Structure 1
Amino acid sequence: MRRTLAVGLTLLTVTALAAPTTAAPASGPRQATLTNFAFLPAETYLPGSEPSGAALGTAPINGVTPPFADQPIQGFSGLVRNSDGTFDAISDNGYGAKANSADWLLRINRIAPDFKTGAVDVVGGITLTDPNSHIPFPLTRPDRVITGADIDIESVTRGADGTYWMGDEFGPYLLHFDRAGRLMAPPVPLPGVRSPENPAGNPNLGGSKGFEGITLSPDGKTINALLEGTVAGDTPGTLRLNEFGIAGNAFTGRTWKYQLEDPGFAIGDAIAVDSNRLLIIERDNGQGADAKHKRVYLADKRDRNNDGKLDKTLVVDLLNIANPKNVGGQANPFKFPFITIEDVTILDDRTIAILNDNNFPSSSGRTPGKPDNNEFITIRLADNLHADPRVLRRR
């Protein structure tokens, strides 16, 4: 089934806050609760757009046969909340690799969840371009529309001026786009760190292990950019969290280290709670019945145990979410068993939203043999975050 763009916006309402409670211990938090469930069907395409998926071949993948007559709306890898109940979701490099994504156009899609009906509408969006030739290497297209063979955007945050900052995995780079999706300045590389796709060569970071999570500080002056993979020479399973100064348009050199529970795991996204704390999605590489580790941690830069790493507190086990009311017709407990869970945002001091990257048409974590939908859930945490009020106000 194909879904076309809806013309209206759907407002997202959030329940009133409970009174503050004591933070849960790291060893075992109380169970979080599913409060809303909606989804965008896997086979959702942008009407009247360009064909895509030619490099995937012609054999069915999870029952879907490429190539596609239009651009799929999929691969949600970063999320920004808007004041009207809609969200801006970036679609990443396309089909999982530089070599097969030359006909995938990088895009910000504006989506509107309607939790009464369980639907997610696509109400608009913009395609990313580089009209002023800021990218220093040749692009796939002469019209300077940016494709998944050029850049792999995996994370996004938005400044007070409405412009978008995005984290890339091919450099890794930070990129600054205006509200129309036009690149405003040359990509900023992370000093001393290079992915295999970086034209500079001499990589010391694994492929697709660049900036998986970026987030704006509450004061709007810095960006924290978290790598997905370990830089060569660092302790296995440690990820660098890098500070970027917006005024100077440069990395400050200040870093912290986040420790994965297992060196084979990865992070999916990050968002600031205050100047010291972040929510971070951590995941294994399993899906469906093979999924064992899909979690959201509260990470603290202050390192109170002095081990040289961010302190971690488990706040949500995404494979064990209470659902006593069977929200969305889903089971109790509810599981979010996707290989890539790459979107988290804060709705209020006790409610977060989580989305999966469905890797269309390749992932099948919900139903074996069928491509995953883009699922949008909201979760009530067991305890308040006590977030910076500026984070809660940010739109």
Structure 2
Amino acid sequence: MPASDPSGAALGTAPINGVQVPFADQPVQGFSGVLRNSDGTFDVLSDNGYGAKANSADFTLRIHRVAPEAGAIDVLGGITLTDPNKHVPFALTRPDRVLTGADFDVESMVRAADGSYWIGDEFGPYLLHFDRAGRLVAPPVPLPGVFAPENPAGTANLGGSKGFEGLAISPDRRTLNALLEGTVAGDEPGSLRLNEFDLRTGAYTGTKWVYQLDSPAHAIGDAISVDRDRLLVIERDGFQGAGAKVKKIYLADKRDRDRDGKLDKTLVADLMNIANPRAIGGFGDPFTFPFTTIEDVVILDDRTLGVLNDNNFPFSSGRTPGKPDNNEFITIRLTNPLHADPRVLGRG
């Protein structure tokens, strides 16, 4: 991020995957949420920075605006997330109230009808509401009864970095569905709570669903609305490169037609086995997306998805061992149409 402050001081001085640290200015990395704009650009959310509260105090939280070009992505600008009106009830890292990765771990994002942003955090877990300029407009909203290790308000019953990894807004933009990445203590292993939040009242409705991971060792990477009842959910293992096996996108249905108490799941894309007969990008057939953290999916049309990874720069090296991953943006043509709500397909 040109002209930004130095970043990564807590990473030490030894090169990581061949990259010299710390950085003279803040890298554009860690994409954990994506929104499509009406002009062909995308807004992408950088997460807390370097993976932990302790090492990310000099990473400012930002939404970047990017434009895909042939074989490249242009960074056009963006906004920095701030709290000028002192809505955050605890002490922030910076006296100017610019938010950092030591304050929140932002992992998911939607745009409301008025153009403002709702963002899911993992340190609370909290829901955060920002205006179009990135200013927090209300206090962080905690999830009742659920506490991450970084949350001093209660005894932790959720693992670290297991908060709101998925955030979906309904087609009528009246409710949010906030999906935890990890299992709350006492719940069935591998079960994740999907929580309904009413944007008109600013409160949780008490309605919940359960998304069941294929394995308790897995995690989700994103969740977005297809229509009132269905969501696309990224499910992944924690491995990269040759060790990566499970990187999938499921269509999850809240109607629970088999009456097992959990969202019904239908596989729509296996990101480790994508047909690429024309060798697009110089890659073979099948194409694989072998990254530790794949955290972004966006609907481009009824049969086309955009998928991005969080490259955890400079740590992840799933594409080439020993070299830091890029943030990659791929498009996937689905075998079958989604039959998505027209309001989702037409959304800017």
TM-score (norm 2): 1.00
Q: Which residue of 2 aligns with 1:183?
A: 136
Q: Which residue of 2 aligns with 1:350?
A: 303
Aligned positions of 1:1-395 closer than 5 A:
46-114=1-69, 117-395=70-348
* Identity in percent: 75
Equivalent position SS for 2:242: helix
Shift of 1:328: 1.2
CA distance in 2, matches of 1:150, 1:215: 23
Equivalent position SS for 1:71: coil
Equivalent position SS for 1:344: strand
CA distance in 2, matches of 1:47, 1:219: 38
Cα deviation, 1:70-127, whole Å, max 9, x if unaligned, reads 110000000010001100000000000000000000000001111xx30100001010
Shift of 1:158: 0.2
Equivalent position SS for 1:342: strand
Cα deviation, 1:9-55, whole Å, max 9, x if unaligned, reads xxxxxxxxxxxxxxxxxxxxxxxxxxxxxxxxxxxxx1111100000
Question: After TM superposition, where is structure 1 displaced by more than 4 Å over at least 4 residues in a row?
Answer: none
CA distance in 1, matches of 2:180, 2:165: 6
The count of residues paired between Structure 1 and Structure 2 equals 348
Unaligned ranges ≥5, structure 1: 1-45
Q: 2:72 is aligned with what amino acid?
A: A
Q: 2:188 is aligned with what amino acid?
A: T
Equivalent position SS for 1:356: strand
Shift of 1:160: 1.3
CA distance in 1, matches of 2:31, 2:292: 13
Equivalent position SS for 1:278: strand
Shift of 1:307: 0.3
RCO higher in structure (CA 8 A, sep ≥6): 1
Unaligned ranges ≥5, structure 2: none
Equivalent position SS for 1:176: strand
CA distance in 1, matches of 2:203, 2:113: 18
CA distance in 1, matches of 2:154, 2:343: 40
Shift of 1:201: 3.0
CA distance in 1, matches of 2:125, 2:12: 29
Equivalent position SS for 2:57: coil
CA distance in 2, matches of 1:393, 1:127: 27
Equivalent position SS for 2:10: helix
CA distance in 2, matches of 1:271, 1:381: 16
CA distance in 2, matches of 1:307, 1:216: 25
Shift of 1:331: 1.2
Cα deviation, 1:181-231, whole Å, max 9, x if unaligned, reads 000000000000000000213010000000000011001100000000000
Equivalent position SS for 2:107: strand
CA distance in 2, matches of 1:276, 1:215: 11
CA distance in 2, matches of 1:344, 1:187: 25
Equivalent position SS for 1:343: strand
Q: Which residue of 2 aligns with 1:18?
A: none
Shift of 1:327: 1.0
Q: 1:105 is aligned with what amino acid?
A: T
